[in-house]
Amino acid sequence: MKINVINLINSPKKYSSRSSYPINKPALKSSTSSSIFNEFQTSYNQNTNTVNFINNNSKKKFKINLKLVLISAVALAAGILLLTKLFKQGKIKPEVKKTDETIEFLKTKYNNIINEFPEDKQYYETLAKSIGLNPGEEFKLSSVVGSKQLEKLINNFTMQDFTVGKNLEGVKNNIYRVNLHNHTQASDGKLSVEAFLEQSRKWADRIASKVNDNKPAFTIGITDHDTLDGCKQAVKIISENPDKYKNLSVVLGSEISVSYINPKDVIRPVNFELIGYGLNPFDEELNKLLDNLKNSRLNAIIDLLNNCKEKFGFKYDFNIEDTKFFHANLKNVRTNGVLNLAGEYLEHKALFTEFINSINSKIIPANAQKLDTNKIFRSLGDEFYMQLDSGKFANIDRNKYISSFYKDVLSKILKERNILNNGNISEFNKIFDMTLSSNDISIIKTAVENALPTINKTNGIIIEPSQLFEAMEKGTKTGFFGMAHPALIQLNGKFDKIANNYSHNSSPERLQYCKDRYFNCEENLVYRVFDYLKKTSNGLFKASEINYQSYNSDMSEHWKKYMQEIADKPEFRLLHTGGVDCHKPSIFKKHKFLSLQEIAENNLEDIVKDSLRK
């Protein structure tokens, strides 16, 4: 029953503001009002789902359906639980409303940068336009470092600022302030771009809370192999929440593989890498060059696989899909070394196929399901290289550690299927004494060597530095380049084990030149490369990674010292850059995972939660 009493009550009685209707009030003066009130009570008792009440001030009718309220409450609770779950999974992000104060801070920071480095203004405007920001919103990218700003920063940085330390001393003492060499999942790194920025941001915030000087809290570079894709992502991520990265300075770049092929100086290509700093990741000419390089390498790998498949009589299923699982650089087709990696894949796949064939014929019962070679091989991903980087096979012969790896993998599979037991374990172990024949290894090695580029036939697989510089000149002309880990330059000399003789890669003409002047041939070749870079770059070659943090312990100190002498020569005067060359899920190590002890000792729990292998 529904009673509309609004137009019937004439009583001037004022109801208490604390009561929604006057059930506990004295009887209304009017008999009409009294009867209406009684009828109202009857209506309420008969239908608890609908309540009509009077608000004397507003004179409005309110209807509350208890059933709908209950349903709505349940739906609201379910919605909150779902949103909470999605938020924890990172599938939704809270909208961060910037206060006027925050925006003013970012604008002031940006204006200070532009006032000091007006040459970088166009860089910010180009980046902002490329990601769809409106004119005037360039301040959202104030954490990105332009090339002119970076040059000044590098001049102010000391060797100590680049230092991580063998035992993370630079981290423990909060002196680790800059790292301009890192890789993300855009090439062969383990961290996504977002996770990389998050970890870097947390470290920057820590430094900012402990150190107060005229240097940025922390400066980090994204320098993926032969691609700018990671940098494109980074620009967008930073622009969406610029205040979050206010203590972090980000350098956009790439580690680009190049080769020196001057026939007057060398017999074979001299391979090395140049790191670009302050690059525009949306530069069409630069992206076109790198995309063409990737496609040429991919075609070369496919030709290599097909060639070997035919030479082995098609008994091994070599295929391009396998390679994408085998190593990150084969998946993304990055670096000059992809053909050598493809050669390693060929060796692994052939040997793994032999292991599987033997297990299927000697260990698996006739009525049981056989092992699937391709399925298992692909399921392993790059686990072999992960274990290799961990040092697990440090003191084991190469052939033995390959066999040891696959033995561990396949024994677990067979044990899970309750097939491996005391009766067949001896036969199983014998299988892994098998190696590829010298003829098989020779077929693979020869095929790879024939696929590699020469100074007269590059097939687009390698590019010369001059091609890179030309692309930069045609494009947006932002940024500069430096020699990456100079002591690792591949001079491509060869050591003949049989003759116990080392042959230099220098041309006969260059060898005679060095002999006549009592020059060291290798040192002279390095000088020639640096001289070529300086003269052909139109001012783009400005740095060398003298403060590289991840040389192996057996790297020659003389060679590292010579690289610094080259960089400091009056005719070069190169900036001293540096970095860790991180590939694993932390910004503190190159190819090693942080241990639980290292994380605890350096209070890194909140910074590198994903650094441990699961």
363-407 residue pLDDT tens:
999 999 999 999 999 999 989 988 888 777 777 777 788 999 999
Which one of 451, 468, 496 terminates a domain? 451
11: in domain = no
More reliable by pLDDT, 545 or 42: 545
Sorted by sequence, the CB contacts under 8 Å of residue 383 that are 6+ apart come out as 409
Task: Flag the least confident range among 11-25, 173-187, 466-480, 555-569.
Answer: 11-25
Work out whether strand 480-483 and strand 541-548 pair parallel, antiparallel, or are unpaired: parallel
* Same domain (yes/no): 297, 275: no
State the pLDDT at residue 24.
41
Q: Are residue 227 and residue 312 in the same domain, yes or no?
A: no
Tell me: do 210 and 329 sit in the same domain: no
Same domain, yes or no, for 304 and 433?
A: yes
Is residue 74 included in any domain, yes or no? no
Q: How far, rounded to the nearest angstrom, does the alpha carbon of residue 480 sit from its chain's CA centroid? A: 22
CA distance 43 to 20: 16
Note whether 401 and 508 are same-domain residues: no
Q: Residue 515: which residues within 8 A CB-CB, separation 6 or more?
A: none
Which of 451, 466, 486 corresponds to the end of one domain? Answer: 451
d(Cα 248, Cα 393) in Å, to the nearest integer?
38
Angle subtended by helix axes 284-311 and 465-474, to nearest 10:
140
Domain membership of residue 144 as a residue range:
102-280+476-601
**Are 353 and 375 a contacting pair, CB within 8 Å?**
no
Phi-psi region of 13 (alpha: psi -120 to 50; beta: other; left: phi over 0): beta
* Residue 530 belongs to a domain: yes
Q: Which amino acid is at 48?
A: T
310 Cα distance to chain centroid: 37
Residue among 279, 157, 223, 118 nearest 575 (CA): 157
Task: Select from 541, 545, 523 the least CA-distant residue to 532.
Answer: 541
pLDDT in tens, 264-319: 999 999 999 999 999 999 999 999 999 999 999 999 999 999 999 999 999 999 99
Percentage of the chain lying above the pLDDT 90 cut:
74
Is 41 part of any domain? no
- On whether both 204 and 261 belong to a single domain, the answer is yes
Q: How high is the pLDDT of residue 611?
A: 56
Please tell me the predicted confidence (pLDDT) of residue 34: 43
**How many structural domains does the chain have?**
2
Distance CA 336, CA 259 (A): 9
**Residue 56, in any domain of the structure:** no
Using CB atoms within 10 A of its CB, is residue 605 exposed (0-12), middle (13-18) or buried (19+)?
A: exposed
Residue 527 has a pLDDT of: 97
User: How far is residue 83's CA from residue 85's CA, in Å, rounded to a whole number?
Assistant: 5
* 592 lies in the same domain as 490: yes
Strand 218-222, strand 494-496: pairing: unpaired
574 and 543 in contact (C-beta within 8 Å)?
A: yes
Last residue in a domain, options 451, 468, 492 = 451
483: CATH: 3.20.20.140
99-113, 142-156, 240-254, 530-544: least confidently modelled range: 99-113
- Sequence-ordered alpha helix ranges (H) in 266-395: 284-311, 320-326, 328-332, 338-362, 373-379, 383-389
- One domain for residues 374 and 225: no
Helix axes 338-362, 438-451, angle to 10 degrees: 150
Query: How large is the average pLDDT for residues 165-181?
Result: 96
Residue with tokens 């040429």: 296
Instruction: Tell me the residue ranges of DSSP E strands in 432-475.
Output: none
How high is the pLDDT of residue 468? 97
Tokens linked to 295:
């496609």
Query: What is the pLDDT, as a whole number, of residue 496?
Result: 55
Query: What are the CA-CA distances from residue 124 to residues 134, 222, 344 (Å)?
Result: 12, 17, 43
Buried b (16+ CB within 10 A) or exposed e, 81-101: eeeeeeeeeeeeeeeeeeeee
Q: Tell me if 66 is assigned to some domain.
A: no
Which of 210, 119, 118, 228 is closest to 171 using CA atoms?
210
Structure tokens given for 519: 């020059």
pLDDT at 89: 64
This prediction has a pTM of 0.81
- Average pLDDT for residues 503-522, to the nearest whole number? 92
Q: Is residue 181 part of a domain?
A: yes
- How far is residue 103's CA from residue 115's CA, in Å, rounded to a whole number? 18
Model pLDDT, residue 167: 93
496 and 405 part of one domain: no
Looking at the domain assignment, is residue 71 inside a domain?
no
249 shares a domain with 334? no
Asked if residue 130 lies in contact with residue 235, where contact means CB atoms within 8 angstroms, the answer is yes
pLDDT score for 4: 41
CA 50 – CA 68 distance, rounded (Å)? 11
Q: Are residues 274 and 299 in the same domain?
A: no
> Which of 92-101, 114-123, 236-245 has the lowest average pLDDT?
92-101
Q: Mean pLDDT in the chain?
A: 87
Residue-wise pLDDT tens digits, 40-52: 444 444 444 443 4
Both 310 and 444 in a single domain?
yes
CA atoms of 252 and 147, how far apart (whole Å): 9
CA dist., res. 513 & res. 8, Å (int) = 117
